[in-house]
Amino acid sequence: MSSKDLSIIIVDDLQFSRIVVKTALKKAGYNGVRMADSATEALAMIEQKPADVVLADWMMPEMDGLELTQRIRQRDEEKGTYTAIILFTAHDGVDYLVKAFDHGVDDYLCKPPNPQELAARVNAAARIAALQNDLLETSRQLEQTIQNLKKMALVDELTGAGNQQFLIKNLKAHLLEASTRRGGVCLAIIELRELEEITAAHGKFIADEILISQHRRLRRAVRPTDVVARMDNDFFGIIMHHTKTKDYKPSSIERVLTMINNRAYKTSVGNLNITGCIGVHYYRGDEALISVDEMIKRAGSKLDQARENAALSIAY
């Protein structure tokens, strides 16, 4: 970053001191210099346009340089940015230097500053800010990459069940096989009716405990060859494949509902009673092959029917 591109804010309650510093910086080629007569004004300026370097007097009324530094560091943390800070002071000695660094100050200059030293310190501070901001941006990009990889993965981290991508991949394969061999595929989408209210009342941690227990119950309620996956929005999906359509029995879905409803869920806040509702669509291989999206859409439509009617727990 060239000196012309730098955004610099000078903060000092004394106008003369502000002008002296700004003049020295302009002679050194720094053009993006703003001046504030208080820490409050400087913070407002930063909100309007972030600064690469802030040069502030230590001793100021209302809010001193150390307090300003803490406010800027707090904002940096919230915004994911870094601002280099240099404090000016008439104080001398190691104790003041240590105190400044302990409060997050990057550099420290005694007043009045030597113009050449001032320009050099600002240049060094700008390099620090640029390096820190590059690292923060790299960290953000890495986090985004990790999130994308998680979405591409097939396992739900919380429950250990397959995730939505896992369900889609398996459903596609089962539909194709059923169409080829004239078998059948059942997709059941399951929702816990009270989970949203429990989350609001007790928090996400308790809801997560229930979701983990839910997966275990579903796994016990179905055959080893059936697929159980946690879908988006805390729904679960079950895929049941049958080599012959006559092997499909609605009682297998009723068994799943019984496993959900038959006893309370043990959580850190005590036992909680929850009821399930299930939407089911069954694809017969002698029908025209449908897409995965259409299969999910039809099962979801049935779930809507079950959800809207409190007396109806399963809709086929």
- Structural domains of the chain, with CATH: 3-149 (3.40.50.2300), 164-315 (3.30.70.270)
Q: Which residues contact 45 (CB under 8 A, 6 or more apart)?
A: 9, 34, 36, 51
The number of angstroms, rounded, from the C-alpha of 124 to the middle of its chain's C-alpha atoms is 34
CA dist 226 and 69 (Å) reads: 59
Token pair, residue 232, equals: 């988006």
Sequence-ordered list of residues with C-beta below 8 angstroms from that of 302, at least 6 positions apart, any chain? 189, 279, 280, 281, 315, 316
Q: What is the pLDDT of residues 118-139, one digit of tens each?
A: 999 999 999 999 999 998 899 8
- Sheet hosting strand 184-192, strand order edge to edge: 227-230, 236-242, 184-192, 276-284, 314-315
Whole-angstrom distance, CA of residue 19 vs CA of residue 21 = 5
**What are 53's two structure tokens?**
């370097």
Per-residue pLDDT of the chain (316 residues; tens, 9 = 90+): 555 678 999 999 999 999 999 999 999 999 899 999 999 999 999 999 999 999 999 999 889 999 999 999 999 989 989 999 999 987 776 777 788 888 889 998 888 888 999 999 999 999 999 999 998 899 888 888 877 776 678 889 899 899 999 999 999 999 999 999 999 999 999 999 999 999 999 999 999 999 999 999 999 999 999 999 999 888 999 999 999 988 889 999 999 999 999 889 999 999 999 999 999 999 999 999 999 999 999 999 999 999 888 778 999 9
Query: What is the distance, to the nearest Å, from the Cα of residue 316 to the centroid of all Cα atoms in its chain?
Result: 37
Give the burial class of 135: count Cβ atoms within 10 A of its Cβ; 0-12 exposed, 13-18 middle, 19 or more buried: exposed
Q: What is the pLDDT of residues 148-169, one digit of tens each?
A: 776 678 889 899 899 999 999 9
Q: How far is CA 76 from CA 80, 238, 271, in A?
A: 6, 46, 43
Helices and strands (DSSP H and E) totals, the chain: 10, 12
| CA dihedral (68, 71, 73, 75) positive or negative | negative
pLDDT of residue 245: 87
Q: C-alpha angle with apex 48: 43 to 52, nearest 5 degrees?
A: 70
At 144 the pLDDT is 85
Residue 236 pairs with which residues in a beta bridge? 190, 230
